[in-house]
Structure 1
């Protein structure tokens, strides 16, 4: 019998899961979904990161070969762990109302609910997203005690805050907070942060922020003797506090004796992406067994 899981992955540092060479102003862009341009980390990169965590010396034991499969040259079959793409749940964005806010959208939460249902978890339910928010509206979990302070500024957007607890969008955010806090080790702290920072905006605004609000950092290589600029390039990253989630299916080929080892593998921290030697790519991981 297979076991379905959700892996909650919260970035603790800047993350560069690169898509190769760029074709514009950004020399090293991040991975993105082709149909909506949202940031993503594809399943092959997620699997590779956990494989590296499981065997830091690079050599798979017989047990780990059953987990991840042999290398492509051996042709002995796939592994028993099946990884999905790490999809975006919220993106940190600069705001004049706060130092940063965590931004999501109806389509993001709707897809999260469908992925949860596919993994056998039905507590977080999908909702009708048609006309849920207009382009100039935003929903939060914060209690607005002053009706005059009903504007939210995200990057170059000035949005109107809808009344808390009187709108379907607010209730959806409340349900998301409840479900995530049940499955994280720092649930009290995460719940408090979500109340202060989590924001739902329209899909149109969210897509624009995903395209224009990700950090882009210049890197310079200096000539050794004169310290003159020898090369300049730009690297795109995901900011700290970005929340991603991935699906994980464990097939019945896994031995019960290895459950403790796999539980250890999918808790704590994992490094994904490039620039590991400069402290980038670290995620806190929480495993959410669904079925």
Structure 2
């Protein structure tokens, strides 16, 4: 039974390719997505493996890795750490002004709120309800400051090639401020904290789902023929990446170690995770040698 719970925020600072393993469309190497929402996601098994792989470099105690994550051989037992799948919180979408906005939706926020409640956290914000509107003029809720900074032409918000009616909603500012304070590490600096607090945009589900499917980074790759040193004519393939500035969150649970010796209780296990993760940058997914998969982590736990 897990005794400690926390929320792990992951903010991408480079394109991230957590591969799905199979492809059914024109993209040869798609990213992982949830089946029901089509939102980008990170599988908990991949996160756990990446954290264990870099545990020593991240400042964790390598002598306790087997107790935390489970041994690879010998006397097998379950690890004391469990990580769930990371779900989308906010996605960067290109805007006409200010470069990009952090797009989210009532569903994404409600799921985050549920995750935080499971971790014993009680954020002081509520999920806004968007007013109904025509599909082509779907309303978006923005912070009062974001309405001035992001919109033009009488409150029109331009996301990629779409135009939406923007409405200032003070509740959005509370959500953005909370995320800026809790989800971003100090290494991000004031610019990105202020931008997240100001430029958070709540979209209808249909619009966020569209951007989740179509606003990713798609990179062509070419296989080189070792004999000629030129491109192999049959070696062109496309890889999909989650864009930089994306924000996801995953549940983290801890118990005492299960080796039978009980050297670590759940508090000590969670302390090890704080040391290795909170405020650090780790690499997840593929294409590590080309600088992909860099995310900064924040581990948020209830203060007793």
- The TM-score normalised by the length of structure 2 is 0.83
Does residue 218 (structure 1) correspond to residue 230 (structure 2)? The answer is no
Match of 1:239 in 2: 243
Does residue 227 (structure 1) correspond to residue 230 (structure 2)? The answer is yes
Q: Report how many aligned residue pairs link the two structures.
A: 280
Residue 89 of structure 1 contacts residue 108 of structure 1 at CA under 8 Å; is this kept in 2? Answer: yes
Within a 5 Å distance, the mapping from 1:1-291 to structure 2 comes to 2-55=3-56, 61-71=62-72, 74=74, 76-127=76-127, 129=129, 131-132=130-131, 134=133, 135=135, 136-141=138-143, 142-144=146-148, 148-162=153-167, 164=168, 170-183=169-182, 184-186=184-186, 188-224=190-226, 225=228, 227-230=230-233, 231-253=235-257, 254-255=264-265, 261-267=272-278, 268-290=280-302
Residue 6 of structure 1 contacts residue 290 of structure 1 at CA under 8 Å; is this kept in 2? Answer: no
SS at match of 1:107: helix
1:223: how far off?
2.6
Residue 10 of structure 1 contacts residue 244 of structure 1 at CA under 8 Å; is this kept in 2? Answer: yes
* Greater displacement, 24-33 / 260-269: 260-269
Task: Give me the whole-angstrom Cα distance separating, in 2, the residues matched to 1:52 and 1:20.
Answer: 20
Task: Give me the whole-angstrom Cα distance separating, in 1, the residues matched to 2:38 and 2:270.
Answer: 37
Gapped runs of 5+ residues in structure 2?
Answer: 258-263
1:69: how far off?
0.8
Aligned Cα RMSD in Å? 2.5
Task: Give me the whole-angstrom Cα distance separating, in 2, the residues matched to 1:31 and 1:288.
Answer: 24
Residue 31 of structure 2 contacts residue 241 of structure 2 at CA under 8 Å; is this kept in 1? Answer: yes
Residue 177 of structure 2 contacts residue 196 of structure 2 at CA under 8 Å; is this kept in 1? Answer: no
SS at match of 2:178: helix
Task: Give me the whole-angstrom Cα distance separating, in 2, the residues matched to 1:143 and 1:152.
Answer: 8
Cα-to-partner distance string for 1:131-187 (whole Å, 9 max, x where unaligned): 54544111222142898431111123110111x2xxxxx233222223223324337
Task: Give me the whole-angstrom Cα distance separating, in 2, the residues matched to 1:192 and 1:133.
Answer: 29
1:36: how far off?
1.3
1:282: how far off?
0.4
Task: Give me the whole-angstrom Cα distance separating, in 2, the residues matched to 1:156 and 1:116.
Answer: 34
Task: Give me the whole-angstrom Cα distance separating, in 1, the residues matched to 2:201 and 2:65.
Answer: 40
- The TM-score normalised by the length of structure 1 is 0.87
Gapped runs of 5+ residues in structure 1?
Answer: 165-169
